[in-house]
A and B are shown apart, each in its own frame.
Chain A
Amino acid sequence: MAEGHSADNMTLTLKVWRQKNRNTEGRFVTYTLGGVSPDMSFLEMVDILNTQLIERNEEPIAFDHDCREGICGSCAMYINGRPHGPKQVTACQLHMRSFNDGDTITIEPWRAAAFPIIKDLSVDRSAFDRIVAAGGYISINTGNAQDANSTPVPKEAADEAFMAAACIGCGACVAACKNASAMLFVSAKISQLALLPQGQAERRIRAEKMVAQMDEEGFGACSNTGACSAECPKGISMTNIARMNREYYGAKLKSTNV
């Protein structure tokens, strides 16, 4: 591949965290990658590096990816000191035009005790699944589908619930937080149901169980620094954390769990 420094053909130095598995020590490996187009997504850039690694008979870099359209939350990469890099979008929606020719880019996995490293940049985020499984759902006896408008929901409540439901569970909030706290994620999952009539019946037990599971997983507490919301690709607001706190206080005061 030709070495070039024109605007359409960037050469980058990539410092990538390589770790065989969760039991071995990891380290940074530096790669030089030429022929990067500014129109590539960040993941496509890593794909090209991986192709070269495979051609050289080296182990490609393991990283999570799925939809590549910014809605699945798989692509967990800590790029140049920020989750998903310099733009408030997922790594698949980050384009190489956000960088300059000759830049050094540091790529690290999410760092949290509750997100153990599987390999390289891939971390185990099943802690989020266990938190949702603890109570982030509505129990209903299924039968025939209900008529669409049989449960009226005011527009304002529907909008607010939808804003919370926009959370894709990517874990950028945990990665950004100095305490590796999962409160923005958990509060979004509690809020999306607490705001809707369907979520009322299990409202208290849900808050109690999800917060208990969150603590169990080893996430930190909230220092209200706001880094989570600032880095969230879906812009989930800190007001959800305040709501979760209210839900939790109310649940602890009123639930019959003694």
Chain B
Amino acid sequence: MSWLLRFFSSSIGKKLIMALTGLFLCSFLVVHMIGNTQLFYADQGLAFNKYAVIMTSNPLIEIISIGLYFFILLHTVQGLLLAYKNRQARPVGYAKFNNSSRWQSRNMAILGTIILVFLVVHMSRFWYQYRFDYVPYKKYVENIQTGQMVSTQAMAESYAVKRRIVEDLDETTGHKVTIVRDLYKEVEVAFQNLPLVLLYVLSMVALAYHLVHGFQSGFQTLGLNHPKYNPLVRWVGVGLFAILIPAVFAAMPIYFYVKSLG
């Protein structure tokens, strides 16, 4: 096993960890973005609230999310250690520095630190609250024939069940009743706060710059540099990960803030 330890403590082995965890986190972003676009549905949050239940109760997703937390930590710790070690490789800097490389490629650790601060705020605001704290329930009544929402009602604070969702079909009226924890409401309330909205938008700009370099850099570290596939990696890295995904995520707090203005 010593060869494996030596491998992961070599400079290339450390970079491999950064590349593999980074690309895994990229794949998470795709899933997270697609799921969260349900915030834009005009259904008073029913689809999003049901999605939140699946994401926190499906055993397969639970296992993957443990991996996700671990990889976030590994990517963070390894990244900071590498940044520290790389600084040690040049103890005395230059008086004049005209580097012919892109700013974001030299400042991945700073961008990553901004994203880390964002993650702490984001997870304590929503993830922790949903999993460990109190989130009120909301009752949705739908007509299953027409698919129309008949009525919605916020449940009293005294309402508490063990399950995160209760679904019931009334066959005589043809109404489907869903009582589910209302994470949508939490999101709606949170994004009425302008400083929080600004933090989210700024963090998505940092994410965009982090990924415009990070996605391509991950492939290079894996040794995947080939004239046939480089354009694809570049387009996916810039178009999907540096533009589309941060833009859609940034649109969510902006959407709720604008909505709150009336």
Contacts and interface: CB of A to CB of B under 8 A. Distances in A.
A80 B98 contact: yes
Contacts of B224: 242
B16 interface: yes
Interface stretch (A42-50, A105-113, A133-141, A146-154): A105-113
B106 interface: yes
Interface stretch (A66-74, A91-99, A210-218): A210-218
Given A81-B96, A81-B97, A226-B105, A252 B7 contact: yes
A114 B100 contact: no
A245 B223 contact: yes
B232 interface: no
Interface stretch (B65-73, B82-90, B160-168, B193-201): B82-90
B10 A215 contact: yes
Contact of B90 (A212, A220, A246, A249): A220
A78 B97 CA distance: 9
Interface string A219-258: 1111111110011000000110111111011001000011
Contact of B89 (A80, A114, A212, A226): A114
A163 B15 CA distance: 26
A148 to B, nearest CB: 31
B221 interface: yes
A82 interface: yes
Interface residues of B, number: 42
21 contacts: A81-B99, A111-B93, A113-B89, A176-B99, A178-B106, A180-B90, A181-B11, A215-B10, A219-B11, A219-B89, A225-B99, A225-B102, A225-B105, A226-B100, A226-B102, A231-B100, A241-B220, A242-B220, A245-B15, A249-B16, A258-B3
Interface of B: 2-3, 6-7, 10-16, 82, 85-102, 105-106, 108, 213, 216-217, 220-225
Given A28-B95, A180-B90, A238-B220, A221 B15 contact: yes
Name the 4 nearest CB pairs between A and B, nearest first.
Answer: A81-B98, A220-B89, A242-B225, A246-B223
Interface in A175-230: 176, 178-181, 183, 211-212, 214-215, 218-227, 230
Contacts of A231: 100
Interface string A126-137: 000000000000
Contacts of A243: 223, 225
A108 B94 CA distance: 7
A241 B216 CA distance: 14
Given A113-B91, A181-B89, A231-B100, A225 B106 contact: yes
Contacts of A179: 86-87, 89-90
**A-side interface size class:** 35 or more
A238 B217 CA distance: 11
A230 B98 CA distance: 12
Given A106-B95, A226-B101, A111 B90 contact: yes
A28 B92 CA distance: 14
B223 A242 contact: yes
Which of A113, A241, A245, A249 has the most chain B CB atoms closer than 10 A to its own CB?
Answer: A245
Contact of B88 (A113, A222, A249): A113
A106 B100 contact: no
A111 B94 contact: yes
Contact of A224 (B6, B90, B96, B213): B213
A41 to B, nearest CB: 21
Contacts of A181: 11, 86, 89
B16 A211 contact: no
Contacts of B108: 223
Contacts of A78: 94
A180 B96 contact: no
A248 B86 contact: no
Contacts of B100: 82, 176, 226-227, 230-231
A8 B31 CA distance: 65
Nearest to B15: A221
Nearest to A222: B15
Contacts of B98: 80-82
Contacts of B10: 211-212, 215, 248
Nearest to A212: B10
Contacts of B221: 222, 224, 245
Contacts of A246: 223
Contact of B11 (A108, A178, A222): A222
Nearest to A78: B94
B16 A214 contact: no
Given A183-B11, A224-B105, A226-B101, 10 more contacts: A82-B98, A111-B94, A176-B100, A215-B11, A220-B88, A221-B14, A225-B99, A241-B225, A242-B220, A243-B225
